[in-house]
Amino acid sequence: MAGKNSYDAASIAVLEGLEAVRKRPGMYIGSTSRKGLNHLIYEIVDNAVDEHLAGYCSRIRVTLEKDGSCTVDDDGRGIPVDMHEKGVPAERLVFTTLHAGGKFDNSVYKTSGGLHGVGSSVVNALSEYLDIKIRRDGYVHHDHYERGLPVLELVDGLLPKVGKTKETGTCVNFLPDGEIFEKTRFSATEVKSRLHETAYLNPALTICFQDFRDDRNEEIEFHEPDGLAGYIRDLNQNEEVLHDPVTLKGSADGIQVEAAFQYVNEFRENVLGFCNNIYNAEGGTHLTGFKTVFTSVMNNYAREIGVLKEKDANFTGADIRNGMTAVISIKHPEPRFEGQTKTKLDNQDAAKAVSKVIGEQMVLFFDRNLEILKSILSCAEKSAKIRKSEERAKTNLLTKQKYSFDSNGKLANCEKKDPALCEIFIVEGDSAGGSAKTARDRNYQAILPIRGKILNVEKATIDKVLANAEIKTMINAFGCGFSEGYGNDFDITKLRYDKIVIMADADVDGAHISTLLLTLFYRFMPELIYEGHVYIAMPPLYKVMPKKGAEEYLYDDKALEKYRKSHKPGSFTLQRYKGLGEMDAEQLWETTLNPETRRMKRVEIEDARLASSITGVLMGSDVPPRRAFIYEHARDAELDI
Ligand code: 2B7
């Protein structure tokens, strides 16, 4: 029987495909962590969204069921169930073969940003069970799989019918396989956020989310008829916005392009890219096209209306995007991705199409909206002003002060030069600094005393930061320069000390000094922290001297409490250290300097991030928000302009 043979061949291919997916799940869904788990839902939902894009589905319901499974239901045409040439119902091909393409490869499904229709089979292969009901041709057709393999008997080569219906659509219920996933509990927060995003990108679609786990009975509907403009509005909901969101759209070379943007009164940019409804974390050609054309059109306008004079240089792209929130969404028939996480759009024609559409549409818009144009250009002017003041400060420092090593003569350097062996202690106060100089092992321990409170770098202009004597001495002593907004002159390989130890009193002032130093490192020399070179000395608070037995250092009040419980009052004398200055050289050596006995804590990036009060925004944006601080204090900076 010819039919039987080809069916056997098909089932071998299915088994091989399933095995490949189960063997290397990460290749198909990124990872087997919670992220990969949630991804299963997105793969199924994306197929329903494709059916929406084809013009046949307007509602999708996603339910996190009590038993840990997930149900996705759409009101599309229903996956075809008729017998396919390979002797199985079309639905089985969709759920069992890695390349369900072929027959289904019409233009709409090609626009899919995910796995090009292989998503359903991947989810199936990674599920303990997957149950599907298809409403189509007046019936409810049923199919069921276990770990990717069909378990229902076909009836005359077709799926069993389990009811009649006038409706159409597809309903998939699946339980992720505990043998594959590290965690099998979906994250409602993450799923909701992704569904909301999908709703913004598809304004005619309604997505209902339900969570029935733990008797929660949560239900939310995502419907965003304003599309990208609504997305931008929500992204900026807590900001001082300078105008209403602007949307631009069109298509070129078979690529649909849509963009929306809005400026806010903040020193940052936030530009997001999507291709075929999928977020591109690493950006790519659509963003490059957008940024390039936006910069060039705005510079032209700036000259036209006299914001830039003939002698002035152009604004940089970052100047122009200062304060911008934007979403660029394109539909591409054959997207390609590159980058570490394969989320960077790589198609060169996308850059061209975006730049063509946006360039044309921008001019149409700004010719009629001069007020918005002017307020955007004034954001660019502010940015350019700060950029220039930063550049100047930097050249000043580099030219005049490069060789002013230990300009104040306060650094007591160590004799050895091998950085791997050397340590530098930054010590608060001259008196503690003095004891530390006596106490240290001068072979490989350097001491840098700093006086009083050093400058709070969060609140100072960059010029002031770099003019500060203590900071200058530190930068010079470390030997690797510093990095800031433009260009990175920091070179960790030049670091002269393997360990940089902050030594401050165990009191409020000491904590403040440590915070300021950490903030300084975090902003200007973050690699010191990333690479684990920064430590905080943990000097003891008390010394106890028992009448009998050995003396001990106690590092906190808890330790003292414990000591008191096990030693009778009167059986010991207690010495409390108010500051490092109270310790003699020998005590200082023993508690904070001697590598054999000292206590210190390596600074994690989280500590430094906490220390720096502006953190949240700091990491994620192209324009460092510290420029906001600089701008707020630009009154000082302007003096040098
Ligand atoms: C390439 C594969 C994945 N497919 C169809 C048609 C409709 C349809 C689907 C779907 C997820 C959970 C509820 C086309 C496309 C398969 O071919 S997948 N609807 N919904 C879905 O997966 N939802 C289709 C042409 C004519 N009739 C139906």
Comparing 635 with 215, the larger pLDDT belongs to 215
CA distance 227 to 568: 73
Give yes or no for residue 394 having a pLDDT over 80. no
Summarised one tens digit per residue, pLDDT across range 220-236 is 999 999 999 999 999 99
505 is a catalytic site residue? yes
Mutation pick for ligand 1 pocket among 79, 104, 105, 209 (CB with most ligand atoms within 8 Å):
79
Q: Positive or negative, the Cα torsion across 158, 159, 160, 166?
A: negative
Mutation pick for ligand 1 pocket among 43, 77, 110 (CB with most ligand atoms within 8 Å):
77
Going from the Cα of 454 to the center of ligand 1, the distance in angstroms, rounded, reads: 65
Atom 4 (ligand 1) nearest CA: 79
Mutation pick for ligand 1 pocket among 41, 46, 51 (CB with most ligand atoms within 8 Å):
51
Which atom, in ligand 1's list, is nearest to the CA of 101?
Answer: 1
CA distance 290 to 359: 8
Atom 7 (ligand 1) nearest CA: 79
Atom 9 (ligand 1) nearest CA: 79
428 is a catalytic site residue? yes
DSSP string, 183-237: -----HHHHHHHHHHHHHH-TT-EEEEEE-GGG--EEEEE--TTHHHHHHHHHTT
The answer to whether 126 touches 290, Cβ cutoff 8 Å, is no
Look up residue 395 and give its two tokens. 């050249």
Give yes or no for residue 441 having a pLDDT over 80. yes
Residue 610, pLDDT score: 63
Going from the Cα of 96 to the center of ligand 1, the distance in angstroms, rounded, reads: 14
Summarised one tens digit per residue, pLDDT across range 176-189 is 999 999 899 999 99
Mutation pick for ligand 1 pocket among 53, 57, 104 (CB with most ligand atoms within 8 Å):
104
Under the banding of pLDDT at 50, 70 and 90, the label for residue 212 is: very high
Going from the Cα of 120 to the center of ligand 1, the distance in angstroms, rounded, reads: 10
Going from the Cα of 47 to the center of ligand 1, the distance in angstroms, rounded, reads: 6
Q: How far is CA 36 from CA 43, 115, 124, 282, 341, in A?
A: 10, 14, 14, 18, 13
Going from the Cα of 78 to the center of ligand 1, the distance in angstroms, rounded, reads: 6
3-state SS assignment for residue 501: strand
Looking only at the bridges linking them, the beta strands covering 218-222 and 206-211 are antiparallel
Summarised one tens digit per residue, pLDDT across range 368-388 is 999 999 999 999 999 998 888
Which atom, in ligand 1's list, is nearest to the CA of 48?
Answer: 23
Going from the Cα of 538 to the center of ligand 1, the distance in angstroms, rounded, reads: 63
Comparing 507 with 338, the larger pLDDT belongs to 338
The answer to whether 28 touches 115, Cβ cutoff 8 Å, is yes
Looking only at the bridges linking them, the beta strands covering 445-450 and 423-428 are parallel
Atom 16 (ligand 1) nearest CA: 79
Give yes or no for residue 322 having a pLDDT over 50. yes
Give yes or no for residue 526 having a pLDDT over 70. yes
Going from the Cα of 169 to the center of ligand 1, the distance in angstroms, rounded, reads: 9
Q: Residue 176: is it exposed, middle or buried by C-beta count within 10 angstroms (0-12/13-18/19+)?
A: buried
Look up residue 516 and give its two tokens. 């300021």
User: Among 43, 50, 73, 505, which one carries the catalytic annotation?
Assistant: 505
CA distance 15 to 234: 46
Average of per-residue pLDDT values in the chain: 84
Under the banding of pLDDT at 50, 70 and 90, the label for residue 609 is: low
Mean pLDDT of 120-128: 95
pTM of this structure: 0.65
Main-chain dihedrals φ then ψ at residue 385, nearest 5 degrees: -60, -45
The answer to whether 109 touches 135, Cβ cutoff 8 Å, is no
**In sequence order, which residues have a C-beta less than 8 Å from that of residue 481 and are 6 or more positions away?**
475, 489, 490, 491, 494
The answer to whether 560 touches 567, Cβ cutoff 8 Å, is no
Residue 149, pLDDT score: 94
Going from the Cα of 104 to the center of ligand 1, the distance in angstroms, rounded, reads: 8
Domains and CATH numbers, the chain: 9-222 (3.30.565.10), 228-394 (3.30.230.10), 400-539+601-605 (3.40.50.670)
On the CB side of 338, CA atoms within 13 Å amount to 5
Give yes or no for residue 444 having a pLDDT over 90. yes
Q: Who lines ligand 1 at CB under 6 A?
A: 44, 47-48, 51, 72-74, 76-77, 79-80, 94, 100, 104, 109, 117, 120, 170-172
Provide the b/e sequence for 135-151 (b: ≥16 CB within 10 Å). Answer: bbeebbbbbbbebbebe
**In sequence order, which residues have a C-beta less than 8 Å from that of residue 286 and are 6 or more positions away?**
257, 273, 275, 280, 328, 330, 345, 350, 351, 354
Atom 6 (ligand 1) nearest CA: 79
User: Among 428, 458, 484, 607, which one carries the catalytic annotation?
Assistant: 428
Summarised one tens digit per residue, pLDDT across range 555-608 is 888 899 999 998 888 889 888 887 887 888 888 999 999 999 898 888 887 666
Main-chain dihedrals φ then ψ at residue 100, nearest 5 degrees: -65, -5
**In sequence order, which residues have a C-beta less than 8 Å from that of residue 638 and are 6 or more positions away?**
389
Which span out of 55-69, 452-466, 492-506, 540-554 was modeled with the highest average pLDDT?
55-69
CA distance 64 to 597: 55
3-state SS assignment for residue 581: helix
Atom 23 (ligand 1) nearest CA: 48
User: Among 406, 509, 552, 590, which one carries the catalytic annotation?
Assistant: 509
Crossing angle, helix 370-400 and helix 285-304, to 10 degrees? 100
Helices (H), 342-497: 348-368, 370-400, 430-439, 462-467, 469-478
